[in-house]
Amino acid sequence: MNKYLFGVIGYPAKHSKSPWIHTNFLEEAQLEGLYRAIEVKPDDLSEAIKGFKALEMDGFNVTVPFKEAILPYLDEIDSYAAKIGAVNTVALENGKWKGYNTDGKGFVRSLREAYPSFDFPAGKALVIGAGGAAKGIYHALLEEEMVQVDVTNRTTEKAMKIIGNHAHEGQTHVLSLQEAEEKISDYDVIVQTTSVGMVPNTKDQVLSLAGVSSHAIVCDIVYKPFHTSFLLEAEQRGANVLHGHGMLLYQAALAFEIWTGKRVEATQLLKEFEQQVK
Ligand code: ATR
């Protein structure tokens, strides 16, 4: 049987959870293979790429700081990744390297798995933040045809950049953090994508959730600590919550599907992952 060779490149990469996740997926799919975390110093990317080509790796994930820097080394880029301008998954297809982005779609799948009855097209979403994660999630939510996907950020100019021409189509409004707080009751899905609240600054919170609707789903992509102060406030106010682990796991599941064509069930692994962080 073909033995797969996968990996993740990043800096740092040593503490990546991806080898553990993908080794479990390989086992679940009954496939043989190896998945390694490969730490590459930013100046060594070009040399590392030569090595990957020589090894004929079947695929690899790309993490910080290479999600944009990898683009010139690819033969093809999938249209969704091109829209985002960043790649987190590379697959060897017919001898060519093709780049994909599964981050935002991984988030949407984790939301769908946790709240299967949520009606995307009828909902309004708020994305908090304007970095790489926000951009992927913003475009993935638009693909779900939500009626409105607004973006709020400390620096509103950065939010303007990620939305492209959607503001003109009336589907997106860019808001200051204060404006977003005032309108918080309007939203059915609220996604916190900044690093605010991550260990060790666990008391920090990007905005207050006073007035949040009790049927809203409040998500935080920060997954350390397990209960961020943002999610604790959401719970106290009676809203539904979604922890950040699912996004990490489902972006991996989608990458695995691109590489092997096998769909994996990440539900059990998600429980184990949550236990490790709790
Ligand atoms: P990533 O690519 O991982 O999403 P990033 O590009 O570093 O991360 O973006 C970080 C996000 O967190 C940005 O939206 C940033 O806001 P600015 O664009 O105004 O910098 C936001 N952020 C970081 N620290 C923040 C803070 N203390 N308060 C509010 N927002 C913060």
Annotated binding residue 36: no
Give per-residue pLDDT as tens, 173-185: 999 999 999 999 9
Write phi, then psi, for 246 (nearest 5 degrees): -60, -40
Cα separation, 269 vs 23, in Å, equals: 11
Residues 194 and 257 in one domain: no
Are 219 and 241 contacting, i.e. CB atoms less than 8 angstroms apart? yes
Residues 70 and 154 in one domain: no
Annotated binding residue 88: yes
Annotated binding residue 188: no
Give Cα 146 distance to the centre of its chain.
Answer: 18
Annotated binding residue 223: yes
ipTM rounded to 2 decimals:
0.95
**Confidence (pLDDT) at 164:** 83
Residues 267 and 172 in one domain: no
Q: Say how many Å lie between the CA of residue 136 and the centre of ligand 1.
A: 14
- For atom 8 of ligand 1, which residue has the closest CA? 131
Residues 142 and 92 in one domain: no
Task: Point out the ligand 1 atom lying closest to the alpha carbon of residue 134.
Answer: 4
Cα separation, 110 vs 248, in Å, equals: 9
Instruction: Specify burial of residue 181 (Cβ count, 10 A radius: 0-12, 13-18, 19+).
Output: middle
Task: Point out the ligand 1 atom lying closest to the alpha carbon of residue 158.
Answer: 18
Residues 218 and 134 in one domain: yes
Q: Say how many Å lie between the CA of residue 194 and the centre of ligand 1.
A: 5
Residues 50 and 174 in one domain: no
Instruction: Specify burial of residue 41 (Cβ count, 10 A radius: 0-12, 13-18, 19+).
Output: exposed
Instruction: Please report, in tens digits, the pLDDT of each residue of the chain (278 residues total).
Output: 679 999 999 999 999 999 999 999 999 999 999 999 999 999 999 999 999 989 999 999 999 999 999 999 999 999 999 999 999 999 999 999 999 999 999 999 999 999 999 999 999 999 999 998 999 999 999 999 999 999 999 999 999 999 987 777 889 999 999 999 999 999 999 999 999 999 999 999 999 999 999 999 999 999 899 999 999 999 999 999 999 999 999 999 999 999 999 999 999 999 998 888 77
Are 139 and 105 contacting, i.e. CB atoms less than 8 angstroms apart? no
Cα separation, 120 vs 128, in Å, equals: 18
Q: Say how many Å lie between the CA of residue 249 and the centre of ligand 1.
A: 22
Annotated binding residue 155: yes
Cα separation, 239 vs 218, in Å, equals: 7
Q: Which CATH number fits the domain that encloses residue 170?
A: 3.40.50.720
Beta pairing partners, 100: 89
- For atom 25 of ligand 1, which residue has the closest CA? 196
Beta carbon of 130 within 6 Å of any ligand 1 atom: yes
Give per-residue pLDDT as tens, 128-140: 999 989 999 999 9
Beta carbon of 57 within 6 Å of any ligand 1 atom: no
Beta carbon of 194 within 6 Å of any ligand 1 atom: yes
Q: What are 152's two structure tokens?
A: 């709020």
Residues 265 and 152 in one domain: no
Residues 234 and 254 in one domain: no
pTM here is 0.94
Residues 93 and 118 in one domain: no
Residue span of the structural domain in which 239 resides: 104-243
Beta carbon of 131 within 6 Å of any ligand 1 atom: yes
Q: How many Cα atoms sit within 13 Å of 45 on the Cβ side?
A: 19
Beta carbon of 162 within 6 Å of any ligand 1 atom: no
Cα separation, 78 vs 57, in Å, equals: 19
Beta carbon of 195 within 6 Å of any ligand 1 atom: yes
Catalytic residues: 67
Task: Point out the ligand 1 atom lying closest to the alpha carbon of residue 155.
Answer: 19
Residues 94 and 205 in one domain: no
Handedness of CA 132, 26, 226, 109 (dihedral sign): positive
First CA to last CA distance, the chain: 38
Q: Say how many Å lie between the CA of residue 195 and the centre of ligand 1.
A: 6
Residues 75 and 96 in one domain: yes
Q: Which CATH number fits the domain that encloses residue 30?
A: 3.40.50.10860
Residues 121 and 201 in one domain: yes
Write phi, then psi, for 152 (nearest 5 degrees): -125, 145
Beta carbon of 65 within 6 Å of any ligand 1 atom: no
Quote the number of domains for the chain.
2
**Confidence (pLDDT) at 236:** 98
